[in-house]
Chains A and B, each alone.
Chain A
Amino acid sequence: MTQFAQAAAYGVVQGGLLALVAVGFSLVWGIMNVINLSHGAFAVTGAYVAWLLNQHFGLDPFLAIPIVAVAMFGFGYVIQRGLINLVVNAPIFLTLLLTFGLSLVILNILQLLFTADDRTIDTSYASQSFVIGTVNVPYGRLAAFFLAVIITFALAALMTRTRLGHAIGATGMDRGAARLMGIRARHIYAVTFGIAAALAGVAGTMIATVGSFNPTTTPGQLTLDAFVISVLGGLGNMYGALAGGLVLGIAESIGGLLLTGTWVNAIAMAVLIATLIIRPSGLIGKAQYGGRVEV
């Protein structure tokens, strides 16, 4: 029972971290219909920014988050305006190819700059935990969980209660109609991509804090996680990534305990397939975005 409770608790906080990774990816896919294969590279870039701030200025990763977010927003905005925007009307395969190529370029530059060694942001608290009964709850992942919840609610508020959010939503639904309403779609897309890049950077910072990262194996895994969680949670709903991340985190953790750790990937895919059979638009995705899931 202790082990089950521990697995469940760990699954919840790990789910929060996974949600944090996926929320930006889901936003770009939902609004722009771009499956951004460079999302993992953006997250790792953010991780390096936070790591550099920690190494050179001793800045705590949580204090570095605003700086990372602003830097990554700018990076994402420029990348979208200068590059992604060129293919935003193109067939999905071209956007896949472009973002995959972009990922390779970013990661090779990172490897040249930092080598391929694993890095971590060493803090006194991230790997520590507090105990409830016999269950340990790690501070670092718990903070990532709360961060994911706060960001999700903030994003939902942005989308529903601000003019910018309405403009983003309108552009995602019908770009032509949005243009007729005076919305600058190009700018809105760049802002959306910038927000996603900023969120990726925040996720990367948390990963660097609770785990380790490198430019060779980490980005691909993050992009894959983000893809699975976005499909699982569903597009078109700001809470989709959070729901998908939590379900995946808990399923992997408890599944790994009941079977063995070697079954974790199979369990994740089984959960995804079962969800899509029952609800093709994902756990809480909006039906009109179902077509995008099938792309």
Chain B
Amino acid sequence: MIGRPGALFAFGIVLALGAAACGTSSNTSTSGSGITFAAPVSQTGAFGQAEGLYTLQGYKFCVQTLNAKGGIQYGGQSHQVTLVTQDDQSVSATSAQIVDQYNDKSYKLILSPYGSPATTAVAPVVERNGQVMVDSNGADTAIFTHGYKNTFAVLAPSSTYVTTIIDTLAALNPAPKTVAIIAANDGFSQHAAEKGVSEAQAKGMTVVPSATAYTSSTKVNANVTDVSSALIAIKGTNPDVIIISAHLNEAVAAIKQASELGVKPKYGFAATVAPPTPAFISALGTKSEGVIGSTQWVPELSTSDSLFGTAKQFLSNFTNTYGWSPNQYPYQAADAAAACEALALAIQKAGSADPAAVRTALAGLSVDTFYGHIQFDSTGMNTTKPMYAIQIQKSAFVTIYPSNLSSTPANWPAIAA
């Protein structure tokens, strides 16, 4: 039996809950003139210090630029964009939980977390909830083999990370005859290594200690700082180049420990994700000199768009905003800004922020941007997009591949005999 004060109190709680619920639903991406982009991005944990930070800055820069230019235009109105982010602590399952919570808040327009494992975890959640996601930094092609209809990636797939390095090496003089590949045990790194082995063999290179070593003796745990077991397995095989298919921690450890263990490649080192990040240079200092890295974006690209302008203008404005040196720009931020831009362009094209309409618009998108051409195939991948290669020269990223974008020759062999 509830007394009168108790009944009033209960009524008050019901009213408060109702008001709270209304408050939540009024904050959706489709109501009013505002549009919400939601992104579970790593701000702590293994990726929080570098890749997640760069991704978040790319998203923020895009939204700032969008709003400064009047927001997204459709239906004769200007729609300002709000970016909602939450730290996934570099844990894939947390990313998926956050996106589910976004759905509860009616945030339907998702920008991906950093990395393939987290994007892999988020994609089925997006599909189930009828959300739509533009993937900025999840390159593992396995994400796109499940028939998902609502996930679109602006970046080139994982299959091209090591193959681009091989193509770069093959174009250098002297071209390596033998390569060793260290690979982390995450799906992205393993897939990149697998394709890299095929490309190396196609280019006439021999992979040491064996073509399958990246699945056994030269495989290391992801995000570790000790890769000595892989280096000891390589020792004695004397490769011309050591390629590291992994993320920042493993790549830094490999180059430092190789020197300690006397594992000295004849020509130099190359790595997939790490070299084109400022954190790689700050962690390795002079040991980063000469390392080659594959990258999704370089400022020498000739394409442009109305939002960011040319690639060089994007570089200048982004690095000025966040205090980066233009010689050490994080390409992951360009990935993120391009994903955000693709989502904005799709909304504009659809004339609506309704996720189904945006999804249809994304599927038919074909535009040139500061990031290059963006067009998705039936699986959601931007397969027309090439990758590029940089080399660290005097603590600056220098584009060395393809040759038409390169103004400075590679310093090669990078290691003195």
Contacts and interface: CB of A to CB of B under 8 A. Distances in A.
A89 interface: no
Interface in B168-199: 185
Contacts of A131: 262
A129 interface: yes
B343 interface: no
A216 B49 contact: yes
A210 interface: yes
Interface in A210-260: 210-212, 214, 216-218, 221, 252-253, 256-257, 260
B236 A264 contact: no
Given A117-B50, A118-B252, A257-B232, A264 B226 contact: yes
Contacts of B31: none
Which of B229, B284, B285, B286 has most A Cβ within 10 Å?
B229
A128 B278 CA distance: 24
Contacts of B236: 2-3, 134
Interface string B258-298: 01111000000000000000110011111100000000000
Contacts of A129: 259-262
A270 B228 CA distance: 20
Contact of A261 (B229, B249, B259, B278): B229
Contact of B219 (A14, A115, A141, A260): A260
Nearest to A138: B260
Nearest to B262: A136
Contacts of A216: 44-46, 48-49
A3 B232 contact: yes
B225 interface: yes
A252 B224 CA distance: 13
B49 A120 contact: no
Contacts of B279: 117-118
Contacts of B262: 129, 131, 136
A7 B232 CA distance: 7
Given A118-B282, A261-B221, A217 B46 contact: yes
Contacts of B53: 116
Contacts of B253: 211-212
B234 to A, nearest CB: 10
A138 B262 CA distance: 8
Interface residues of A, number: 39
B230 interface: yes
A117 B282 contact: yes
A136 B231 CA distance: 12
A10 interface: yes
Interface string A101-128: 0000000000000011111101000011
Which of B53, B217, B248, B249 has most A Cβ within 10 Å?
B217
A261 B219 contact: yes
B229 A256 contact: yes
Contacts of A140: 260
A261 B230 CA distance: 7
Nearest to B263: A136
Contacts of B284: 120, 212
Contacts of B49: 115-118, 214, 216-217
B235 A2 contact: yes
Interface in B211-239: 216-221, 223-230, 232-233, 235-236
Given A3-B233, A120-B284, A261-B228, 19 more contacts: A3-B236, A14-B228, A115-B49, A116-B48, A117-B50, A118-B50, A118-B279, A118-B282, A119-B283, A127-B287, A131-B262, A212-B256, A214-B49, A217-B46, A217-B49, A218-B225, A256-B229, A261-B229, A262-B219
20 contacts: A2-B235, A10-B232, A14-B228, A116-B49, A117-B283, A118-B49, A118-B50, A119-B282, A120-B283, A120-B285, A122-B286, A122-B287, A127-B256, A216-B44, A256-B228, A256-B229, A257-B232, A260-B220, A261-B221, A264-B229
Interface of B: 44-46, 48-50, 53, 185, 216-221, 223-230, 232-233, 235-236, 248-249, 252-253, 256, 259-262, 278-279, 282-287
**A-B residue pairs, 7 tightest by C-beta:** A256-B229, A136-B262, A116-B49, A138-B260, A118-B283, A261-B229, A122-B285
